Structure 1
Amino acid sequence: MRIALIGAGLTTVGAAEILIRRRAEVVIVEQDKERIEALVDTLDCGFIHGDGSKPAVLREVGPQHTDVLCCFTDNDQSNILASLVGRSLGFRRIFTKIDDAEFQPICIELGLTDLIIPHLQAARALADLAFGTLPEDFAEFFKCGSRLFSLIVREEEVGPVEDLSLPKRCAAICVYRHDEMLLPKAGFALKLKDEVVVLAHEDSLPELRERWAVPPPSPAAEPE
């Protein structure tokens, strides 16, 4: 597996060390040349000096040869931009780190559903551990190709949850409406801008992403 990480902060370095131990091929993209020089002797991976939100730099990473792109800089806007550029260049899967949870609904509307929100995830993990509800390896929940996908209900999708016509091997398991979590049963009525969490097989993710991708803006009319 080949994984590219944008930004060489503590999260990236920690992830890179684990990935390298698991024999993944790792490439780190970093703007600060001195930071690269400080890490080059301690991490057995590739380095690219440059701005990871720039198309030319991400093309150098090699979208067609990379399994996962992780946008892990310390700037939320840079991570969102890099994720969108990476998606346009054809990276197979993209993780976007945001520190400000206010960006979460915007990311979801943009189709960036693989989000890393460190302080929220750490807090939830701590609370779950305290009550014994989190397994030692959370990944054990996701076996046999199962994945989670989140979508925002559009105007044409308002109505019974079964009318979403999800791909095969997919099921809506949870709906977030404002600050409330709802469990959708047959006949559950979806409302505009509800966030629907779907349990899906990984083979269905391309269709889900295509159907709920944000369309590009219409070109502005040229003045006569």
Structure 2
Amino acid sequence: MRLVCIGAGPLTLNIVRMLVDKGHDIVIIEQDRARIEDLTEDLDVGFLHGDGAKPMIQREAKPAESDALLCLTDDDEDNILAALVGRQLGFPRVIPKIQDADFLGICEELGLENTIIPDQTMARHVVDLVVAGADADLSAFIGGGVRFYSFEVTEDEAGPCTDLDLPEKTRPVLIQRGEDFELAEEASEVQAGDRVLLVTHVDHLSELRDRWPARHVREGEQQDGRQGRDKSKRNGAD
């Protein structure tokens, strides 16, 4: 795929690095020439210097030869305008980023169906993570080595969070108890059955997975499963 990105901020760079690793062709449009010079040696992508919301600059990016335009500057209005210009010039898909959710309704009215709101996306990831108990890669929003992981507290682990004996660069950030959530603090205590969300470094994921398998099955559920299988076997024998 050939993708054009407007803006060279942290989100763009994380997205671009992932796409380049997958073999995609990327062009970045950036107004800051010094920023382009700093990134040229680090990224194997094409660069265009200029205002990405202007038709002349977008035409240089060759819309007809591209698969999508990602508008990822820090200015919501610029991203919306750039997306509208890109759609008019023939980009098959335009994806504007906005920070202010109040603009979402306007984007929908303008037909910008692929608008993204990073804060909301990250919040959904965190909630899904806590509920599902799987680890998630949020580095596109936070930073390259940051990862999240959650686990269910056992009877033996109940007590102060400080007693969990976590790896370095690993901290509890959220505790789910039933339908309630609370932010983890230094004085927080966990109970058996709580689900704890950790922020950690990618280097420690294997250690956390070994200690707390992602799909944790409660002992009672295991017993119920065994009883069900035993019952099925008995019925089959009968």
Residue identity matched to 1:97: K
Percent identity between matched residues is 49
1:22-37 matches, within 5 Å, as 22-37=22-37
Provide, for residues 8-43 of structure 1, a one-character-per-residue CA deviation record: whole Å limited to 9, x for no partner. Answer: 000111111000000000000000001101100000
In structure 2, distance between residues paired with 1:42 and 1:135: 29
Provide, for residues 97-124 of structure 1, a one-character-per-residue CA deviation record: whole Å limited to 9, x for no partner. Answer: 0000000000000000101101111011
Residue identity matched to 1:75: D
The secondary structure found in structure 2 opposite 1:131 is: helix
The secondary structure found in structure 2 opposite 1:53 is: coil
1:38-49 matches, within 5 Å, as 38-49=38-49
1:88 paired residue number: 88
2:105 paired residue number: 105
Q: For the Cα contact (< 8 Å) 1:125–1:134, is it kept in 2?
A: no
Q: For the Cα contact (< 8 Å) 1:69–1:94, is it kept in 2?
A: yes
TM-score, normalising length: structure 2: 0.56
1:18 paired residue number: 18
Provide, for residues 161-192 of structure 1, a one-character-per-residue CA deviation record: whole Å limited to 9, x for no partner. Answer: xxxxxxxxxxxxxxxxxxxxxxxxxxxxxxxx
The offset of 1:128, in angstroms, is 1.1
RMSD value over aligned CA atoms?
Answer: 1.5
TM-score, normalising length: structure 1: 0.59
Q: Which runs of 5+ in 1 are unaligned?
A: 138-224
In structure 2, distance between residues paired with 1:63 and 1:90: 6
The structure having more radius of gyration, on CA atoms, is 2
Provide, for residues 43-69 of structure 1, a one-character-per-residue CA deviation record: whole Å limited to 9, x for no partner. Answer: 000000000000000000001000010
The secondary structure found in structure 1 opposite 2:58 is: helix
Change (3 A) 1:131 1:27: same
> Between Structure 1 and Structure 2, which shows a larger proportion of helix residues?
2
1:141-152 matches, within 5 Å, as none
The secondary structure found in structure 1 opposite 2:69 is: strand
In structure 2, distance between residues paired with 1:133 and 1:87: 39
In structure 2, distance between residues paired with 1:133 and 1:111: 35
Q: Which runs of 5+ in 2 are unaligned?
A: 138-238
